[in-house]
Amino acid sequence: MSEVRLQVQNLCKSFGITKAVQNVSFNINKGEVHALIGENGSGKSTLTNMLTGIYSIDSGHFILDGKEIHPKNQVEANNEGVSIIVQELGTLSGLTVAENIFLGHEARFVKFGIKNTGAMNREAQKLLDQYGFGRIRASAMVDEYNFEDRKLVEIVKATYFQPKIVVIDETTTALSQEGREELYKQMNRIRSEGNTIIFISHDLPEVLRMSDTITCLRDGVYIDTVKSSEIDEEGLKKLMVGREVTGDYYRPDYGEPVSNEVVLSVQNVTVPGQIENVSFELHKGEILGFGGLSESGMHEVGKACFGASFDRTGTVKLYDGTSINSIPQAISHSMAYTSKDRDNESVVMNQSIGDNICLPSLGSLTSIPGILSGAKMKEFARKYAAEMSVKMVDTDQFVSDLSGGNKQKVVLARWIGKDSDILVLDSPTRGIDIKVKQDIYQLMDRMRKSGKSIIMISEELMELIGMCDRILIMKDGKINGELLRSPELDENSLIAKMV
């Protein structure tokens, strides 16, 4: 069990003068799931990217089963017995499923310079069937499948050749509960075959549940390696942040009554192919959660409330009877929205932080009517960027330079500046580290107390349970259950309604 598979020795990697990984050494054993944890930018991905040949090594060594390896690309890494499942989409559009699975290893199907497509498809289909993904057809274009199924294809691609080490880089955040279960099953199988998994995840309960050993990195420096049976969530947080995480993570209160005043009433809303006959009411000062599988339609509910759905029927009305049918209308009636797709739908990437914050409030930042005041814009942007403690050099800096957590802060600063009363937050903490997550939770709690109403859509069940007054669970485009805030509420009761 405790035979060493991979030795990481004095590993260093710099980008310019940023030391992304500094002199990191530790061992990874055979037949274990070894988790790598750390905040955004702690060097986890840099390390595994060097192992899998995506980045080159500055100095230091990877010793795999007693033999030093330094792969120059992913195919070479595969040949050494190392593979990776990446965070975002790792399959190539325009190729078939089979071509994706055997990418870089086509040679085995080539005879006399001609590729035997039939044999390749048969082989790929055999693998898919073995994995229990028989519904995916090997000969089909990978584009025909959704994000989840493409991830399953990647799992096959990364594991079919029995690699000695499989790196799973924050794959689970992109997956729904169902997809995660599939992934967990495969992880257990790989471990039982005596091979090793390096598991990167922000989700600490998941890390504790799935891994045998946990190594923590902070700012590119090795901190510690612990047995997961000997540590708890608080201990991990402390390792990652380097100090106790003070204060409450989620909101602490239970049993506070929610006002009866309805601020938003959604009746019989249908978006073809997405959601069907969804009706609910949002109260003043309430945090209303939406949970479900990724494809359950819950993300569309947020868009529908904000007037951003195409082809919507049914009504979305404010307390005074005003109908919300378009985005500008929603904004002018004090509604706000943050999208799950942060880079495309929330922040204008190639624009300054300042302009991003001011965008919906431009109407009020004028000196003479219609003429914008540069000074007022600057002051406005600075004020709300500071309120959200956005880490930046100046508000003139482009948003594309910021990390995911900071981008989310810019979006929130925009809506706080607009002083919106109804906030629709879709996956507000997706891919964000603990410190910023806590900031966002505390912000939501403050807003709730000041009488603002929040719709929170999330795939993370724990944060729904921790933050919401009421949780609506979506399944196949319909509301499938309602759960009220209570300390007894646990993930299983939510999952039961989801699947």
d(CA 98, CA 139): 6
Q: What is the footprint of another protein within residues 17-36 (CB under 8 A)?
A: 17-20
For the chain, the first-to-last Cα distance in angstroms comes to 36
Decide if 45 contacts 169 (C-beta within 8 A). yes
148-156, 232-240, 334-342, 464-472 -> range binding another protein (CB under 8 A): 334-342
Cβ(422)–Cβ(453) under 8 Å?
yes
Q: Which of 16, 94, 113, 257 is close enough to bind another protein by CB under 8 A? A: 16
Pick the closer one to another protein by CB: 192 or 350.
Answer: 350
* 57 lines the binding site for another protein (CB under 8 A): no
Q: How far is the CB of 406 from another protein (least distance, A)?
A: 9
Q: Which of 3, 4, 15, 476 binds another protein (CB under 8 A)?
A: 15
Instruction: Please give the Cα distance from 155 to 361 (Å, whole number).
Output: 45
Q: Does 54 bind another protein (CB under 8 A)?
A: no
- Asked if residue 42 binds another protein (CB under 8 A), the reply is yes
Return the ∠ at Cα 8 (arms to 61 and 84), rounded to 5°.
Answer: 95
Contact range with another protein by CB under 8 A, out of 144-152, 292-300, 347-355, 455-463: 347-355
| Identified binder of another protein from the candidate list 363, 386, 446, 484, rule CB under 8 A | 363
Out of 151, 340, 414, 475, the residue judged to bind another protein by CB under 8 A: 414
What x/- string results for residues 126 through 165 when contact with another protein is judged by CB under 8 A? ----------------------------------------
Complex with another protein: residue 117 or 344, whichever CB lies closer: 344
Evaluate whether 217 touches 36 at the Cβ level (below 8 Å): yes
Query: 36 with 44: CB under 8 angstroms?
Result: yes
Nearer to another protein, 224 or 232 (CB): 224
Does position 180 bind another protein by CB under 8 A? no
Binder of another protein out of 136, 331, 416, 457 (CB under 8 A)? 331
Q: Taking the complex as a whole, how short is the minimal distance between the CB of residue 402 and another protein, in angstroms?
A: 10
Identified binder of another protein from the candidate list 65, 281, 345, 387, rule CB under 8 A:
345
Question: Residue 250 to residues 171, 198, 241, 433, 461: CA-CA distances in angstroms?
Answer: 24, 29, 17, 14, 12
From residue 299 to residue 318, what is the string marking binding to another protein with x (rule CB under 8 A)?
-------x-x----------
Whichever of 24 and 465 has its CB closer to another protein, that residue is 24
Q: Is 219 in the site for another protein (CB under 8 A)?
A: yes
Q: Does the protein bind another protein through residue 422 (CB under 8 A)?
A: no
Q: How far is the CB of 361 from another protein (least distance, A)?
A: 10
Measured from the CB of residue 219, what is the shortest distance to another protein in angstroms?
Answer: 4
Region of 76-84, 136-144, 336-344, 472-480 interacting with another protein (CB under 8 A): 336-344
Would you say 248 or 396 has its CB closer to another protein?
396
- C-beta closer to another protein: residue 338 or 429: 338
Cβ distance to another protein smaller for residue 114 or 393: 393
Among 33, 43, 86, 287, binds another protein (CB under 8 A): 43
User: Does residue 12 belong to the site contacting another protein (CB under 8 A)?
Assistant: no
Q: Does 237 bind another protein (CB under 8 A)?
A: no
CB of 271 to another protein, least distance (A): 16
CB of 248 to another protein, least distance (A): 23
Does the protein bind another protein through residue 344 (CB under 8 A)? Answer: yes
Number of residues that bind another protein (CB under 8 A): 50
Under the criterion CB under 8 A, does residue 348 sit at the interface with another protein? yes
HEC assignment per residue over the chain: CCCEEEEEEEEEEEECCEEEEEEEEEEEECCCEEEEECCCCCCHHHHHHHHCCCCCCCEEEEEECCEEECCCCHHHHHHHCEEEECCCCCCCCCCEHHHHHCCCCHHHHEECCEECHHHHHHHHHHHHHHHCCCCCCCCCEHHHCCHHHHHHHHHHHHHCCCCCEEEEECCHHHCCHHHHHHHHHHHHHHHHCCCEEEEECCCHHHHHHHCCEEEEEECCEEEEEEEHHHCCHHHHHHHHHCCCCCCCCCCCCCCCCCCCCEEEEEEEEEECCCEEEEEEEEECCCEEEEEECHHHCHHHHHHHHCCCCCCCEEEEEECCCCECCCHHHHHHCCEEEECCCHHHHHCCCCCEHHHHHHHHHHHHCECCCCCECHHHHHHHHHHHHHHCCCCCCCCCCEHHHCCHHHHHHHHHHHHHHHCCCEEEEECCCCCCCHHHHHHHHHHHHHHHHCCCEEEEECCCHHHHHHHCCEEEEEECCEEEEEEECCCCCCHHHHHHHHC
Q: State the residues that interact with another protein by CB under 8 A.
A: 15-20, 39, 41-43, 218-220, 306, 308, 327-328, 330-332, 337, 339, 341, 344-352, 355-356, 358-360, 362-363, 370-372, 391, 393, 397-398, 400-401, 403, 414
